[in-house]
Amino acid sequence: MTTTVDTIITEAKKRMKTSMETLRKELATVRTGRANPSILDTIQVEYYGAHMPLNQIAGISVPEPSMLMIQPFDKGAMKAIETAILKSELGLNPGNDGNVIRLPIPMLTEERRKELTKVVNRMGEEIKTAIRNVRRDANDDIKKLEKNKDAHLSEDAAKTALDDIQKVTDQFIKEVEETVKHKDAEILKV
């Protein structure tokens, strides 16, 4: 298969889009003042000797804005679910009534909100770095293609391709910044 400018740019876009999806998934796990089942996505429960994601052994619902309700598919897993939540770094205290686990989501303190915005901004910076690394790889591929005599890529065509890659990079960097800004606003909203 011969590499062309279009395939290089398409592959770069695909990798940048994957980075954005990663950012969105990571941001979904950051707790805001409101109940959101995705904050439990990273919790692994030890269930019959195996570690399983919480959402595979229980149903999670939001009965009110500051409460999550966890309904285990097997009541025997309740203790294991409670233990996993307590061990997580979410700082949440589960309440068990024998049928469901209620998880009150406390309001965030101002100090905690500021810490979370720092975490969110660091996540954004890591994704921007990943996007810039994709740009660097694509630029290197274009330069190799330009040096390859069989590719017949002119200096002007290579310059245009590098400009196109920069435009795509700028577009994704802007999207990262907007996504992080939106999450910051969500965290800081009282």
Q: What is the pairing mode between strands 95-96 and 67-72?
A: unpaired
Task: Among 104, 132, 162, identify where a domain stops.
Answer: 104
Q: Assess whether 90 and 150 both reside in one domain.
A: no
83-133 pLDDT tens trace: 998 888 777 888 888 889 998 887 778 888 888 899 899 999 999 999 999
**What is the mean pLDDT of the segment spanning 127-154?**
90
Total tally of structural domains belonging to the chain: 2
How far are the Cα atoms of 84, 128, 170 from residue 70, in angstroms, in the given order?
A: 13, 35, 41
In 3D space, the residue among 125, 118, 135, 117 whose CA is nearest the CA of residue 171 turns out to be: 135
pLDDT on residue 2:
56
- Record the pTM: 0.72
- Same structural domain for residues 127 and 81? no
Same-domain check for residues 49 and 120: no
Q: What are phi and psi of 37, to 5 degrees?
A: -55, -25
Select from 104, 136, 155 the last residue of a domain: 104
114 and 94 in one domain?
A: no
The boundaries of the domain holding residue 78 are 37-104
Q: Tell whether 63 and 16 lie within a shared domain.
A: no
Tens of pLDDT, residue by residue over 25-84, are 888 878 776 778 888 888 899 988 888 998 899 999 988 888 899 999 988 889 999 999
